[in-house]
Amino acid sequence: DEPAPAEEPAAPAEEAAAPDGFSFPLAETEELSYYFQWSQALADIMQDPEELLYFRALDEATNVHLNITPFLVTSAAELYPVMVASGDWCDIVDGVNGMYAGGYAQALSDEFILPLNDLMQYMPNYTALREENPGFEDILYLEDGTMPAFGMMYNGGYPITYGLVIRDDYLEKVNMDKPQTIEEYHDVLAAFKTELDVQNPLWVSMYGAYQNHAFSSAYGIIALTTANLDPPFHVENGKVSFDPTLPAMKDYLTMMHEWYEEGLIYNDFMTAANNFFPDFSLVGELGAFTIPVGIMNQMSMYSEDPDYQISASYTPVMNKGDTVHIAYNSADYSMTGTCLTTACEDPELAARYIDFWYSEQGFYILNYGVEGETYEMVDGKPEYITENVFADPSLTTDQSLKLVSKQNGTFVVDYLNRQSVAFNDAQMEAFDIWGIDQDDWNYPTNALMNEEESDTYATYYSEVSTYVTQYIPQAILGDVDIEATWDEYVATCEDLGSIEITQAKQSALDRYLSSRG
């Protein structure tokens, strides 16, 4: 599938007027606090996210200053519960559905977050956008009609932006084509190892898995990546399965162990906590790995090999012609996990402020920065001023873009139009190669659990996932014999609650499917 072409901005053509005549900027400065999820790429080059161009521009446009407390998704599993338990909550918080035990329903029940329904009168831009886009409107509610979080929408659609890459120069040296099947990947990686002395032909993260489920998806399963990202459930013909206990997982782990024994897998994979891409210091010694499209064109700088060249590679299947059914999520609409907490003393102001992010002016600030400084309008469309955006050669393309534009979140994301300026031919080709994958077996992100299901899930999931994440590396390393221990492993998962959490997810899915007719 080819990526959707960039379209005119999906933000309202004209800013929607508030029915009470309210407008920004405020006459006097107000303040709100924000528990902000940011990226390691930004944390590596700056300490204070309040200095990001788009936050400074929003301050000026609204006269509302955000006091930001940042957190990284990689440390959120430890930090988020501490923040919640402290009772010292920001007005606006990111990450609720993924990080709050029990998700939205439990957060509402615990009176951690506010339902947004009664605040719609203060959000004319957001309301207009929802009314104009029924698909967006459909995903914003829980079963009882509560709207727990703000939504994100991709202008022009959202392509798959993350996947496998492979060393093209290595393929040429061993005279082999780009692999497509598990067997072909094995043969290519083995050739890299034996003929070119590549020390770590295939990079994988902890638990021998990827965030896009490459390799495990050939077996029709999701391999757990961390305890808090992409819980390992898939849906086939309306039935939810807990993938770590399926026979296919046993087959996958057996394959991964065999490849590890052959020296085909990064030997210290247990230390690779980043599920998206390897440490840059490793790039020069890898044959294949996963990566976001935005940093593909930067990888050669981390290798001393003058022939270094990578390109997007296919997600492996068992047999040529097979379809990948479990892929990196590429939904055009989603709830962001950004919510207002009950600690917010002025939810009306917070709602009006977030609504500004969905306005036409907010659209340009969050996607492009400041007109005349980081972008200009050309034939009615925004274009980056590249000599300004990419002025610092020490930064990756990804970092340069993240300094001037919010990459995702609570607004309309103009992804394809704004990214195309920075992408080379290999990156644009990646959309085509990774876009072949389908996600029809992924558990729907909008099949949300109710309070009872969330409570059941919260009761059991942590212990089950902890046990699974202990077993998987041991199985790949050979510290446990998979054949001898598998039945006991499955039984222990069931004793810890794998059946109960699967039933909770099934109930939520059934209700979601029923609501869609």
Spans of the chain below 70 pLDDT: 1-15, 17, 157, 226-230, 329-331, 516-517
Yes or no: say if 206 and 289 are a contact pair by the CB < 8 Å rule.
no
| DSSP secondary structure, 58-111, as one string | HHHHH-EEEEEEEEETTTHHHHHHHHHHH----SEES-HHHHSTTHHHHHHHTT
Residue 7: its pLDDT value, please?
A: 40
Residue-wise pLDDT for 471-490, tens only, equals 999 999 999 999 999 999 99
Residue-wise pLDDT for 415-455, tens only, equals 777 777 778 889 989 988 998 998 899 998 778 888 899 89
Helices then strands (H, E): number in the chain? 19, 15
Residue 229: its pLDDT value, please?
A: 59
Yes or no: say if 217 and 442 are a contact pair by the CB < 8 Å rule.
no
Q: Which of 501, 316, 406 is nearest to 53 (CA)?
A: 406
Residue-wise pLDDT for 2-61, tens only, equals 334 444 445 444 667 677 778 999 999 999 999 999 988 899 999 999 999 999 999 999
Question: Which residue in the block uniquely carries the two structure tokens 């495990």?
Answer: 216
Query: How many C-beta atoms lie closer than 10 Å to residue 85's C-beta?
Result: 8
Residue 330: its pLDDT value, please?
A: 64
Cis peptide before 25 (omega within 30 of 0): yes
Residue 13: its pLDDT value, please?
A: 47
Residue 273: its pLDDT value, please?
A: 73
